[in-house]
Amino acid sequence: MRIHCPVCGRENDAGPDFACRRCGCNFGDLDAVLASAAHHLAAAAAALRERDWQAALGGAERSWRLRHRASAARLAFLAAVSIGDTRLAASWLKCCASIDEESFPTRPNILTLRGIRNLIKKELRS
Ligand SMILES: [Zn+2]
């Protein structure tokens, strides 16, 4: 597996015990951060399925702080919409768009209330 060092940007061969050949960044530590981000994301998805919007939002935000992924921003957006915090939802929507425009409908004509409800239903089923 090849990995771009998050500190200096050099591309390295990586495994759990590898360190960046340029700056010494420990990729084992990076694995732990990525695992924690995945854990918080899974907890957020579970909370969303249980309709615990605050817990879903908290988990998605914790995951986002560790790793910026569209899936974390999408969950945070859906939780914020469900709570009714439109300002927060709008800021998460911008994060979704900045990461991956293909996976999320961000054009105003697509993002109708019905569209949002369908996104939430789809998320609850997964
Ligand atoms: Zn490096």
pTM over 0.85, yes/no: no
| Cα 58 to middle of ligand 1, angstroms | 31
The DSSP H or E segment spanning 19 is none
Q: 26 has which bridge partners?
A: 19
**How far from each other are the two terminal CA atoms of the chain, in whole angstroms?**
29
| Cα 1 to middle of ligand 1, angstroms | 16
From the CB of residue 54, how many other CB atoms can be counted at a distance below 10 Å? 11
Question: What span, in angstroms and rounded, lies between the C-alpha atoms of 113 and 126?
Answer: 20
Per-residue model confidence as pLDDT tens digits over 26-69: 887 777 888 999 999 999 999 999 999 999 999 999 999 988 88
Which residue segment(s) compose the domain that 101 sits in?
A: 2-125
The CATH code of the domain that includes 76 is: 1.25.40
CA-based Rg of the chain, rounded to a whole angstrom? 17
**Total structural domains within the chain:** 1
